[in-house]
Structure 1
Amino acid sequence: MLELMKTKFYKYQGAGNDFVILDNRDEHFDGDNVELVASICDRRFGVGADGMMLLQSHPEHDFVMRYFNADGREASMCGNGGRCIVAFARKLGLIHNKTRFLAVDGIHEAVIDDNDLVNLKMQNVPEVENGEDYFFLDTGSPHYVRFADDVDAIDVVKEGRKIRNSQRFAAEGTNVNFVQLRDNGIKVYTYERGVEDETLACGTGITASALCAAIKTGKNEGYFPVEAKGGQLEVAFKRTENQFTEIWLKGPATFVFDGTIAID
């Protein structure tokens, strides 16, 4: 009887956006095995998560972040995932409270503050498409943003899936965000491609929504407090017309539990 390979995993969540993370510095885990990654993310037959990350070594940076959607495919940048893997890197002793790491969209900086909130610097956004009733932009992942008077009245899965599978986006997919302006910030609900469902929070989506709120309200710099279904986050930025720099995503990144996976 063949003995199954066992590997340790760590479960983290950032505002309800949950991830399985593996320390893969020795590259023992095959991230190219789509079915395996998907099975680990399966909420009924696996550990269960919105996505999975591998922390790997790099000769010039503190580490490399590889991110996979719940469908098992390697994906574009995940903001909450980025914050969680920074917290994980500190748990491993790789970093203290500051880091520079490499992700699919380039180098990111991050700082863990005195309240253990992780501040992740996002890539600059050089342009935002301003449509008749929507915005479209890339904050490390593509995001469609639509404002509404009451996001609680929207069927996020139904409407999000319709936009994600529309003729324009069907081939590559897009994430879809519904945003409500409030006196003290914004409220954001997100349908995520790859998960193909609503998630409790989406870091790149919350970032995209805050930048679009800045355009909509004429705000040139500062920050927006953001309410997602999974908790509170914050996005800071500087704006010149439809271009953004100094974008920081701030929020909790919490260790939940760890365990061992048996792999065929």
Structure 2
Amino acid sequence: MRVPFIKMHGLGNDFVVLDARDNSLPAMTPQVARALADRRLGIGCDQVVLLEPSETCDFRVRFFNADGSESGACGNGSRAVALLHGAHAVVETAGGPITLEPLSGGAQVDMGSPRFDWDAIPLAYAMDIFAMPVGWDVLQSPMAVSVGNPHVVFFVENADAVDLASLGPVIEHDPLFPERVNVNVASLAGRDHLTLHVWERGAGLTRACGSGACATAVAAIRKGLAASPVRVSLPGGDLTIAWQPGGTILMRGPANESFRGTFAWDDYA
């Protein structure tokens, strides 16, 4: 069985997109997702994105990390899907419904409302999520927020100087986070500008993380460090995040199609 795929990226955060809305595919498994994501033996990507029919929305989107685990949200992947779909859509995700709007060269995504309850993020036990009394080496007192998937956000003087490749996996797998966590390290470049590095749960360091940009902008606005809209600069480029307390998060940025091809499903199962 040969399966068509579309290779896409948002700011270098890359995806293998499988469209099963009209033609069903065998069930996606962690093994298949890991094999497709392998950059030496597979197609290679940070996430596998699967489009399926939905009973409640225009269609359903599922996100699988490079380690095979499934994520509730992916901002860059959502923009790629908006570009591929080519029209306004409300889509079902494991993190809740989101709204896609393609734009010239990219898309705007309404990511829904952030969640601040400790058990919605989730954390292993109750604590102040706005200034968590925990730390790991130079990273101290983060804020936690869910934007469909769990994030902790650290504000530091110089995000570029933090060894996130070492600290990221330690924090991701800390027992405080029963579903693991995405780790965001940001520094302020102005009231409307942040510099950000992200260790993604299940994927590691990536050139960009859309949900991480959303979580970090929300944290900065909630703490009074920044005002909406916020430009978030990641190694792969910039995103614009708009959010007002009580509202939903609007993310705007580029997305690109790289190439298309086919693969034999049984080679990866």
Task: Using structure 1 for the length normalisation, give the TM-score.
Answer: 0.88
Residue 98 of structure 2 corresponds to which residue in structure 1?
Answer: 108
Cα 1:217–1:187 change in 2 (3 A) is same
Q: 2:138 aligned with 1:149, yes or no? A: no
Aligned partners of 2:95 and 2:25: how far apart in 1?
Answer: 22
Kindly tell me the number of residue pairs found equivalent between the two proteins. Answer: 246
**Distance of aligned partners of 1:19 and 1:226 in 2 relative to their CA distance in 1, 3 Å threshold:** same
Partner of 2:258: 256
Matched, 1:201 2:208: yes
Specify every segment of 5 or more residues in structure 1 that has no aligned partner in the other structure, as ranges: 91-95
Change over 3 Å in CA distance of 1:259–1:32 after alignment to 2: closer
Q: Alpha carbon RMSD of aligned pairs, Å?
A: 1.7
Distance 2:175 2:93 in 1: 29
Amino acid at match of 2:242: A
Counterpart residue number, 2:123: none
Q: Contact (CA 8 Å) 1:31, 1:37: kept in 2 or not? A: no
Change in CA separation of 1:27 and 1:75 when aligned onto 2, cut-off 3 Å: farther
- After superposition, give the CA deviation of every residue in 1:52-77 in whole Å (9 maximum; x if it has no partner): 11111224432111111111222211
Alpha-carbon contact 2:106-2:256 (below 8 Å) kept? no
- Distance in 2 (alpha carbons) for counterparts of 1:231 and 1:110: 20
Q: CA deviation at 1:231?
A: 0.9
Return 5+ residue gaps in structure 2 as ranges.
Answer: 118-128, 134-140
Tell me the TM-score normalised to structure 2 length.
0.86
Q: Kindly, what percent of the aligned residue pairs are identical? A: 32
Measure the CA separation in 1 of the matches of 2:114 and 2:179: 20
Go from structure 1 to structure 2 and tell me whether the alpha carbon gap of 1:7 and 1:32 turns closer, same or farther (over 3 Å shift).
Answer: closer
- The residue type equivalent to 1:125 in the other structure is P
Higher strand share: 1
- Partner SS state of residue 229, structure 2: strand
Q: Which residue number in structure 2 is paired with residue 130 of structure 1?
A: 130
Matched residue SS, 1:12: strand
Cα distance in 2 for partners of 1:49, 1:153 equals 26
SS at structure 2 position matched to 1:146: strand
Deviates more, 1:249-258 or 1:51-60: 51-60
Does the C-alpha gap of structure 1 residues 134 and 60 become closer, same or farther in structure 2, counting only changes over 3 Å? closer
CA distance in 2, matches of 1:75, 1:27: 23
